[in-house]
């Protein structure tokens, strides 16, 4: 049973989560971004049931994250290819891998993936940079502010969260 969607919510995070659907959607996108394109390969990699995989591929296609391309007739077989919108998720994949690597390091476990520059082979990592200058920030202290499309609910979240953080900092 699918949960309620995020339609009408002025939240970029909800938009991405709505397009992915659930944890299986992200794992399928992970494999597609790693270069797996065939149904059997996706099923083998994830261990997902056929019914769930078919449903996730259909919903990812409806969300515009992938396109289906026929590569064989009789029987019909398809490749599943990330679209430009789907390839945007590589940034999310890299962020999740980087966070997972941090957690694994605390348990003395090695990283299962590395992101490399295709030309130099140098390892890459995501970093927070100043939007105006592009200068990396070593230890940024983040504050989140409303953007031009923030609706009433987003304004409330920000105001309420700020008030709660202020109350907690005064208590400590």
Q: Which among 16, 17, 62, 67 is positioned nearest to 37, based on CA atoms?
A: 67
Half-sphere exposure of 112 (CA within 13 A, CB side): 8
More confident residue, 58 or 153: 58
pLDDT over 70 at 2, yes or no? no
Give whole-number Cα distances, 122 to 7, 119, 125, in Å: 40, 8, 10
| Helix/strand/coil for 2 | coil
Task: Tell me the Cα Rg of the chain.
Answer: 20
pLDDT bucket at 3, cuts 50 / 70 / 90: low
pLDDT bucket at 4, cuts 50 / 70 / 90: low
Q: Mean pLDDT over residues 114-131, rounded?
A: 90
Q: Which among 78, 93, 91, 94 is positioned nearest to 29, based on CA atoms?
A: 93
Rounded to two decimals, what is the model's pTM?
0.80
Burial category of 20 from C-beta neighbours within 10 Å (exposed 0-12, middle 13-18, buried 19 and up): buried
pLDDT over 80 at 141, yes or no? no
94 close to 126: Cβ distance less than 8 angstroms: yes
pLDDT bucket at 153, cuts 50 / 70 / 90: confident
Q: What is the pLDDT of residues 10-23, one digit of tens each?
A: 888 999 999 999 99
Q: What is the pLDDT of residues 76-105, one digit of tens each?
A: 999 999 999 999 999 999 999 999 999 999
Q: Which among 96, 128, 127, 129 is positioned nearest to 113, based on CA atoms?
A: 96
| Helix/strand/coil for 34 | coil
Fold classification of 12-83 (topology level): Arc Repressor Mutant, subunit A (1.10.10)
Domain ranges of the chain: 12-83, 89-140
Orientation of helix 23-33 relative to helix 50-62, angle to 10°: 80
pLDDT bucket at 73, cuts 50 / 70 / 90: very high
């Amino acid at each position: 049973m699918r949960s309620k969607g995020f339609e009408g919510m002025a939240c970029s995070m909800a938009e991405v989560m709505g397009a992915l659907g659930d944890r299986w959607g992200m794992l399928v996108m992970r494999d597609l971004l790693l270069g797996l394109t065939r149904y059997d390969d996706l099923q083998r990699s994830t261990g997902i049931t056929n019914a769930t995989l078919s449903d996730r591929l259909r919903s990812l296609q409806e969300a515009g994250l992938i396109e289906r391309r026929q590569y064989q007739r009789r029987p019909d077989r398809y490749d599943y290819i990330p679209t430009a919108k789907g390839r945007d998720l590589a940034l999310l994949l890299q962020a999740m891998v980087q966070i997972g690597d941090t957690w694994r390091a605390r348990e003395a476990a090695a990283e299962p993936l590395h992101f490399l520059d295709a030309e130099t082979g140098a390892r890459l990592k995501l970093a927070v940079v100043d939007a105006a200058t592009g200068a990396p920030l070593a230890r940024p202290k983040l504050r989140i502010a409303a953007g031009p499309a923030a609706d009433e609910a987003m304004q409330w979240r920000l105001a309420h969260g700020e008030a709660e953080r202020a109350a907690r900092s005064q208590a400590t």
